[in-house]
Amino acid sequence: MPTLPQIPQSLYFALSAILFTIGAVGVITRRNAIIIFMCLELMLNGVNLAFIAAGSALNSLDGVIFVFFVMTVAAAEAAVGLAIFVMIFRLKGSVNVDQINLLKG
């Protein structure tokens, strides 16, 4: 029976690139602001996975610390962003980003 090698680090980076791309395509193609927000969270998760994989490859905990701060920012962003969506829904009756053009000249 042939022995399997250890999982190469590049596979983890490739997985994080796949997740980031799926999130980016979602941000581009979807028009519902809340789904765009969820796709942003998925992109953040792809980046977090790359941080953890690099930290694990280098025997360092700095990647974990950075992911911790990314999670903090994501939590603050979720609170403020969803409050903005609720306010926009009250104002316009919709969260379709094509209809949110208050700043358009």
Partner 1 sequence: MIATTFSWLVFIGAGLVAIVASLLMVTRRNPVHSALWLIVAFFSIAIIYISLNAQFIAVAQVIVYAGAIMMLILFVIMLIHLEREQELTGKITGAKIVASFITIILFLEIVAAVLSFRVTGMKGPFTPEMVNGFGNVRAVGMVLYGKYMFPFEIASILLLIGIVGAVVLSKRRKE
Beta carbon of residue 40, minimum distance to partner 1 (angstroms, whole number): 11
Beta carbon of residue 98, minimum distance to partner 1 (angstroms, whole number): 8
The yes or no reply on residue 40 touching partner 1 (CB under 8 A) is: no
**Looking at 30, 47, 102, 105, which residue binds partner 1 (CB under 8 A)?**
30
Taking each helix axis from N to C terminus, what angle separates 33-57 and 9-29, rounded to the nearest 10 degrees?
170
Query: What are the angstrom distances between the C-alpha of 11 and each of 49, 57, 87?
Result: 11, 12, 42
In Å, how far from its chain's centre is CA 95?
A: 20
The yes or no reply on residue 67 touching partner 1 (CB under 8 A) is: yes
Beta carbon of residue 105, minimum distance to partner 1 (angstroms, whole number): 20
Residue 64's nearest CA partner among 48, 42, 47, 43 is: 48
96 forms beta bridges with 32
Tell me, residue by residue from 44 to 63, as one string, x for binding to partner 1 by CB under 8 A and - for no binding.
Answer: -x--xx--xxxxxxxxxxxx
The yes or no reply on residue 75 touching partner 1 (CB under 8 A) is: yes
The yes or no reply on residue 89 touching partner 1 (CB under 8 A) is: yes
